[in-house]
Structure 1
């Protein structure tokens, strides 16, 4: 069998590609400084300007954590994700769509086969303090505390018949306590937790950090593409054509990802909540994907740590900046796959590709490339937009373009809106729908007449497709195809 995929194998591959990886031995403070530095180097996305797309960075000298390293921005470039998954970055959504339908189940291995359990710290050990053990960064000076932003939570239903993985924001609150925000609705770990709470039992989980990106991208699928009980580790298995290794926890009745860098074994306490920013009282949580500081939640779930395990050799804490391009990759590419899955079933052949652009943080906006065969297809593009909203309830804006438009080139998309669009006929507005509560324009005080509760939104369709009968009026200027054009750069 080929070498097993994990974060270290992926890093070895991208180190060989110029411009994709950089590491530094200069000391960095994880409290605001680390994210502050990477903001300039490679964060991208909706991060405060100036920012840019750049290499992933490994910080080898983290203040206060001599035995640990911090990696940031591994997926903060769609092109780099393509290199990591060995696939054309423009059709990653299609690749993930196929992976969901061809799942490869994880396999259980022994502790001896699990690098993630080479070192074990029990919460009962004298002096145990997660805040001194795990180099979790604080992204800004007003964050509620150090956050685990790239931790894959792995849990199962009380009867053990269903299991799943999801990603949540998690703040280190005390030496053995984590505050976990589980967004209402849609997240499978939250559905399992309700079953435990009905029995007043704690829910055993593992929090897995430092993973092959095939796992972190696959873990962000949501219903209806992956229904309750569909373990998204099967997506990673399909992407790699290699099952993900899992292992029994050392202190809780839950499985861990065997080739992770770090694993936190814990229990979510039943029917118990705490203030997210209890240590800072700033009113803020951490920067979230829309580009704003998330509001601290007054009642996050309480997670009690039972053990921490990790690799021997300078284990890597993988982290991200909430509004960065990395979130666009993790949330956006699976959403593209979900949209493609639904439209392919309903109107096959009419949507050629979709792209969830950074301007929407990977969640709020999609650009759809439409194919029309004849005049009878007129209007099919708007039905495609409605299907996209059905596939992903957090989607807010859909832009429809023709096949000759590069959906990954923002100037090309805006050219469409300027030359193939009239505002009085090509805008659709759908009022009173659900969206994402982290969008600050969806507060009731923004529009009291239409937004009754936080997270309601009007949804927008911009139809930049050319009427089929007028295609001859919208032909782009055509240039001679030159196969030897690169010779003139030598």
Structure 2
């Protein structure tokens, strides 16, 4: 895709317009679909991928244009559920996405505020004080399964500011619609900037204003998923999207709270995180489950979560709801590409030129597993590959497993990685265990019930699988060399000229 086309993507609608021009990237249906479990059940077969239970696959994005109970509403899912599709929308190659995000973090462009009369997201306004106001009727939020705690907003760009410093940040959180004007909000302990902002406000006995923008430029969704230390507290990840697009993200002042929202979002929810108020996540369903999460299991319903009191919902004319299946390839993309960028940045600083690429593998939901392609060029490089793995754990604290491969192994090809595991790895000498390290609480194996040695939920044994050839033996592990040819002469329909 040309740079010119890339620059023309400014919102969800322009991204969909681009996908309509590329065969196999978007399908649309007018068939009536129930947002409660049925919609996700359909997309599981069409293109969910990720850690979704098989049968599933990576396929096109999908627009459902006839949502039961929501006349005139549309729901789009799977926009980011393909590495190739994301690369298309961000104007790069799939294997270069981590590098693109790394470059964007280094040269951020801060968001700007535009006048309200130019903000498409405020074309239609619904105040919570109006008779009949009900967020569940206004927003066609789906459930992934029949056991979910309720309808979830899974791709809401949550934006808030530190009450003391005024520094702002955007992150994605699990948001369950609990009543006509209340939502519960999952905040991973110690891992989200907004959690820090809320603690500051709550300690002072004050609510925290927060906006949730739904249906945005894919660059915003991907850029918002960076975590410390790559983007420290006070770093506004909207500036990453600005750098990707070479132009600032446009914001607008909210109508009912002292906060901003993304000006061309499809929907915006304005509200406040209430101090001292908590709610059981499955208050209505009583299933004990929240929704399917990236490890592939339904996450347990939290016994108490912070509550957002909704003040208003604004939206564009004929708004499009964007959603995500929890364990799908879409999560892999959003979490994994910033993870790759973070690892590339940290290792490159420590040992320039040796780490060739990184893939945050789909089997780990973009968080638990990374494949590092490492090049040893001299005898003293032996052992540095394991140092790179340690740096990867430092770059992304939720990482659980690192697989190291040589420069002749494609880190994005699981068969090639497993080939290296089978021919360049001996378990007793090439496995490095790092027990007792904090990881991510959604891994169901990280409990004392599973392993009595685990002291607290979310603590794990991190593992390095070194599938690289020892430097002195590299000459003995040369892959069979085939003749170099131009396959386009023989199968032009398969090998189009770039």
TM bin, normalised by shorter chain, reads: over 0.9
What's the secondary structure of 1:446's corresponding residue?
A: coil
Structure 2 gap ranges (5+):
494-498
1:333-354 Cα deviation digits (max 9, x unpaired)? 0000011111011111111110
Which of 41, 47, 65 aligns to 2:46? It is 41
Q: CA deviation at 1:109?
A: 0.4
1:416 aligns with 2:400: no
Which of 426, 429, 436 aligns to 2:433? It is 429
Which of 166, 181, 200 aligns to 1:176? It is 181
Q: Which residue is equivalent to 2:314?
A: 309
- 8 Å Cα contact 2:211-2:269 kept in structure 1: yes
- 8 Å Cα contact 2:141-2:153 kept in structure 1: yes
Distance 1:337 1:278, change over 3 A: same
- Distance (Å, rounded) in 2 between the aligned partners of 1:456 and 1:298: 20
Q: Which residue is equivalent to 2:496?
A: none
Q: Which residue is equivalent to 1:445?
A: 449
- 8 Å Cα contact 2:9-2:15 kept in structure 1: no
Q: Which residue is equivalent to 1:455?
A: 458
- Distance (Å, rounded) in 2 between the aligned partners of 1:388 and 1:16: 38
- Distance (Å, rounded) in 2 between the aligned partners of 1:167 and 1:485: 43
Q: Which residue is equivalent to 2:467?
A: 464
- Distance (Å, rounded) in 2 between the aligned partners of 1:174 and 1:426: 53
Q: CA deviation at 1:472?
A: 1.0
1:209 aligns with 2:214: yes
Q: TM-score, normalised by structure 1?
A: 0.98
Moved runs in structure 1, 4+ residues, more than 3 A? Answer: 1-4
Q: Which residue is equivalent to 2:102?
A: 97
What's the secondary structure of 1:206's corresponding residue?
A: strand
1:13 aligns with 2:30: no
What's the secondary structure of 2:429's corresponding residue?
A: coil
What's the secondary structure of 1:424's corresponding residue?
A: helix
Q: Which residue is equivalent to 1:290?
A: 295
Q: CA deviation at 1:489?
A: 5.8
Which of 354, 368, 374 aligns to 2:372? It is 368
What's the secondary structure of 2:345's corresponding residue?
A: helix
Which of 347, 353, 360 aligns to 2:351? It is 347
- Distance (Å, rounded) in 2 between the aligned partners of 1:489 and 1:329: 30
Q: Which residue is equivalent to 2:226?
A: 221
1:28-67 Cα deviation digits (max 9, x unpaired)? 0000000000000000000010000100000000001113
1:295-327 Cα deviation digits (max 9, x unpaired)? 000011111000000001x20110001100000
1:477 aligns with 2:490: no
- 8 Å Cα contact 2:9-2:89 kept in structure 1: no
- Distance (Å, rounded) in 2 between the aligned partners of 1:86 and 1:370: 26
Which runs of structure 2 are paired with 1:30-429 in the superposition (5 Å)? Answer: 30-159=35-164, 161-312=166-317, 314-429=318-433
- Distance (Å, rounded) in 1 between the aligned partners of 2:166 and 2:182: 28
Q: CA deviation at 1:100?
A: 0.3
- Distance (Å, rounded) in 2 between the aligned partners of 1:144 and 1:217: 26
- Distance (Å, rounded) in 1 between the aligned partners of 2:9 and 2:119: 12
- Distance (Å, rounded) in 1 between the aligned partners of 2:130 and 2:406: 62
- Distance (Å, rounded) in 2 between the aligned partners of 1:301 and 1:489: 57
- Distance (Å, rounded) in 1 between the aligned partners of 2:212 and 2:394: 31
1:265-313 Cα deviation digits (max 9, x unpaired)? 000001211100000100000000000000000011111000000001x
Q: CA deviation at 1:161?
A: 2.2
- Distance (Å, rounded) in 1 between the aligned partners of 2:413 and 2:487: 24
What's the secondary structure of 1:135's corresponding residue?
A: coil
Q: Which residue is equivalent to 1:29?
A: 34
Q: CA deviation at 1:487?
A: 2.4
1:237-272 Cα deviation digits (max 9, x unpaired)? 000001100000011111000010000000000121
- Distance (Å, rounded) in 1 between the aligned partners of 2:148 and 2:109: 38
- Distance (Å, rounded) in 1 between the aligned partners of 2:66 and 2:19: 21
Structure 1 gap ranges (5+):
none
1:427-474 Cα deviation digits (max 9, x unpaired)? 1011111101000000111111x2111000001111010111111110
- 8 Å Cα contact 2:220-2:240 kept in structure 1: yes
Cα RMSD between the aligned structures? 1.1
What's the secondary structure of 2:449's corresponding residue?
A: helix
Q: TM-score, normalised by structure 2?
A: 0.97
- Distance (Å, rounded) in 1 between the aligned partners of 2:199 and 2:212: 19
1:164-219 Cα deviation digits (max 9, x unpaired)? 00110000000000010111102000000011011100000100000111001100
